[in-house]
Amino acid sequence: MPDSLTIAKTCAKYANEIQAEDIVILDLRGISTLADFFVVCTATSVPHLKAVSRDVRSKTEEEIGETPRSSEGEASSLWLVIDYVDVVVHIFHQDKRDVYSLEDLWADAPRIDLDFLPEHSTSA
């Protein structure tokens, strides 16, 4: 059974593979009892919201055997939520992401390095 960090990084990886934008993993451990991690990303259209949700769900299950406990929202609402119990994936259209501003709400949450993204790679 994969740990919550593995689930979060796997979801983020597959969101990235289908061109989701501005992917952030917020580490809520010790800050909230809602979840260990939030994965937040942006889709560019209603069809893209659907595709990101579909791929995150199916490819995360395929790779690590995790299926969500539930999913909420309709693509037309411009915000989809996939609940893996300790990891909650938020897929927003940019308009809704700016309104709800989860990164600001959870500003004290550390960000997890997304080493699969070129802009996050470091050479030490």
Domain with residue 105: its CATH number is 3.30.460.10
> What is residue 122's predicted lDDT score, i.e. its pLDDT?
40
pLDDT at 123 over 50: no
pTM of the model: 0.92
Find the farthest-apart pair of alpha carbons in the chain and give their distance in angstroms, rounded. Answer: 44
Helix, strand, coil percentages in the chain from 3-state DSSP, rounded to 5? 40, 25, 35
Mean pLDDT within 5-26: 97
- Structural domain for 43, as ranges: 4-114
**Residue 124 belongs to some domain of the structure:** no
> What is residue 70's predicted lDDT score, i.e. its pLDDT?
96
pLDDT at 99 over 80: yes
Residue 28 contacts residue 8 (beta carbons within 8 Å)? no
**Residue 122 belongs to some domain of the structure:** no
Residues 29, 4: Cα–Cα separation, whole Å: 10
pLDDT interval class at 118 (50, 70, 90): low
**pLDDT tens-digit profile of 31-87?**
999 999 999 999 999 999 999 999 999 999 999 999 999 999 999 999 999 999 999
Rounded to the nearest 10°, the torsion over CA 44, 103, 100, 30 is 130
Residues 37, 8: Cα–Cα separation, whole Å: 7
**Residue 120 belongs to some domain of the structure:** no
**Residue 119 belongs to some domain of the structure:** no
**Residue 123 belongs to some domain of the structure:** no
Instruction: Please count the structural domains in the chain.
Output: 1
H-state helical runs in 18-74: 46-64
